[in-house]
Amino acid sequence: MKLENINLNSIWQGCQAYDKKAQALLYSHFSKKMFAVCLRYANTTLEAEDILQNGFIKVFTKHHLFDGKGSLEGWIKRIIVNTAIESFRQSKAKPTDSIEAHHENTIVSHLSSDTTSYQDLLQLIKELPLGYRTVFNLYAIEGYSHKEIAQMLGISEGSSKSQLSRARQALQEKLIKENTI
Amino acid sequence: MESQDLDKLFRDAMEHAQETPSSRVWEGIQQELKKENKVIPFHKKYRAQISIAAMFLLFFGIGLSLYKKPIPSRTEKVDKVIASIEQKKNISDGHSSSSKEYIEDKIGSSVSSKAADQNLSVNNNTPTLQDKPSVKQEEVYAAPKKKSISHTDQEEIQLLTPDFELAEVQVELEDLVRSLHQVKMIDPTYDGIQPSFAYSTPQEEVKTSLVTRVLNGITKNIMSKHLDMDEKREIEFRNDEEGSLSINIINSFARK
């Protein structure tokens, strides 16, 4: 792990100097993990790829905003999540039907983690309506507080809390359904 | 299921999740970065090299300024000239004083009579002044005589540089005349001497250091190849006392 850290340091320094090789290495190191994050937030795979692309462009062009404190991975993830939220804010005007979202989802992936649970659970998340999905992702998986979520999404804290509880409800029901089938 | 357990279930599943994006994503990123990377990279990429080069230049500049010969100021040069004169004086005391005496005999009579007249006028007007000028006169006139007795051998030397001695003497006599008008006893000032001395430096002096010499050499080479010129100072680099570099190109314009 230590070796990885040292390598990462030099890779990041290369990125700060706009070294193409370093940029390619950074992308290859983080892209898969970050793409999984994107898939949780996006309605479609295409949208997820857009989020990933825009996110990494920000990472490379606004590298100076990383102060070196905390992990680089955490910083990159925050950028990806913020980019994902942008598409939420944009698509807030168009409410998406959960059924439609379900049909559009086609995930082609090579998983390293436990296939069954991960795929199933991911599927459940994607079936949630946009608002529920976003709040659930931010609270339950990313670990933001309701106050932070309210700020990020431009909603009230109360709205964040209610959307979270509804998201949990829906997920529980689906889990029960799946287990019983 | 508790809410927290539900959250944990999903969180654990997603923590190490990885999905492979299509290659078009990286292609899109590269394209966008190409636009950004045009001007910026040089300054940032080679920051280390640039900073090292800058350091070298800085040290080089400091070293140059330190190794440059100190250029004496005008007053220092005057002092040098005076010192050399005095040295010469001390060396050739005999013949100079004898020549003084010689010239004094010829011109001195008129001067002394003049001085005497002045003395008289001074005496009439201000009794206090009388003593000083006359005393000085006697002193000065007395001094050469003393010296001439001891160094008669050096009389021959006077033939070699008669002009020099003549000039020197003339000015001194003028100073003496001047001193008669003055209350305080002052040594003859050498302000007026510099232009008339053979040993004085040319009026327009070019101060140079290693850098300016090199630059002047280069410009001379370039100019001589392109133009037929007799003058050296078409384009000239100079230093001043503080070491700053200046370039004079007025001459090159004036020609045409």
> Residue A124 is part of a domain; what is its CATH number?
1.10.10.10
Tokens of B240: 């001043």
Q: What are phi and psi of B84, to 5 degrees?
A: -65, -35
Last residue of a domain, one of A66, A94, A122: A94
pLDDT at residue A160 greater than cutoff 90: yes
B232-B237-B240 Cα angle (round to 5): 125
Which stretches within B18-73 are classed as H helix?
A: 23-36, 41-45, 47-67
Measure in Å the smallest separation between the Cα of A61 and chain B Cα atoms: 8
Please check whether residues A122 and A145 belong to one and the same domain.
yes
Q: Which neighbouring-strand residues pair with B248?
A: B236
Q: Are A127 and A98 within 8 A, CB to CB?
A: yes
Please check whether residues A141 and A71 belong to one and the same domain.
no
pLDDT at residue A100 greater than cutoff 60: no
A88-A16-B38 Cα angle (round to 5): 90
Q: What is the pLDDT of residue B36?
A: 77
Please check whether residues A74 and A120 belong to one and the same domain.
no
Please check whether residues A2 and A66 belong to one and the same domain.
yes
Per CB-CB distance under 8 Å, the chain A contacts of B25 are 31, 35, 49, 52-53, 56
The stretches in chain B having pLDDT less than 70 are: 1, 37-45, 69-73, 92-207, 223-234, 251-256
What is the C-alpha separation between A21 and B36, in angstroms, rounded? 16
Average of per-residue pLDDT across A18-22 = 92
Q: Are A135 and A163 within 8 A, CB to CB?
A: yes
Please check whether residues A6 and A86 belong to one and the same domain.
yes
pLDDT at residue A166 greater than cutoff 70: yes
Last residue of a domain, one of A94, A122, A153: A94
With an 8 Å Cβ cutoff, are A171 and B10 in contact?
A: yes
Per CB-CB distance under 8 Å, the chain A contacts of B9 are 121
Q: What is the pLDDT of residue B123?
A: 47
Please check whether residues A15 and A55 belong to one and the same domain.
yes
Q: Are B251 and B231 within 8 A, CB to CB?
A: yes
- By the CB < 8 Å criterion, does A56 face chain B? yes
What is the C-alpha separation between B1 and A178, in angstroms, rounded? 14
What is this model's ipTM? Answer: 0.84
- By the CB < 8 Å criterion, does A61 face chain B? yes
What is the CATH classification number for the domain harbouring A1? Answer: 1.10.1740.10
Please check whether residues A111 and A85 belong to one and the same domain.
no
Please check whether residues A178 and A104 belong to one and the same domain.
yes
With an 8 Å Cβ cutoff, are B6 and A171 in contact?
A: yes
pLDDT digits (tens, 9 = 90+) for A45-55: 999 999 999 99
Q: What is the pLDDT of residue B77?
A: 79
> Does residue B246 sit in helix, strand or coil?
strand
Q: What is the pLDDT of residue B57?
A: 94
Q: How far is CA A151 from the centre of its chain?
A: 17
Q: Which neighbouring-strand residues pair with B245?
A: B239
More confident residue, B80 or A159: A159
Please check whether residues A26 and A69 belong to one and the same domain.
yes
What is the C-alpha separation between B164 and A20, in angstroms, rounded? 80
Please check whether residues A117 and A53 belong to one and the same domain.
no
Q: Are A105 and A40 within 8 A, CB to CB?
A: no
Average of per-residue pLDDT across A92-117 = 47
Q: What are phi and psi of B237, to 5 degrees?
A: -105, 140
What is the C-alpha separation between A41 and A91, in angstroms, rounded? 12
Per CB-CB distance under 8 Å, the chain B contacts of A172 are 1, 6
Last residue of a domain, one of A94, A119, A146: A94
Please check whether residues A80 and A113 belong to one and the same domain.
no
Q: What is the pLDDT of residue B32?
A: 93
Q: Are A37 and A48 within 8 A, CB to CB?
A: no
Please check whether residues A81 and A162 belong to one and the same domain.
no
Q: What is the pLDDT of residue B3?
A: 87
Q: What is the pLDDT of residue B133?
A: 45
Q: Are A107 and A120 within 8 A, CB to CB?
A: no
Number of domains observed in the structure of chain A = 2
Average of per-residue pLDDT across A35-40 = 96
Q: Are B86 and B101 within 8 A, CB to CB?
A: no
Q: Which domain holds residue A136?
A: 99-181
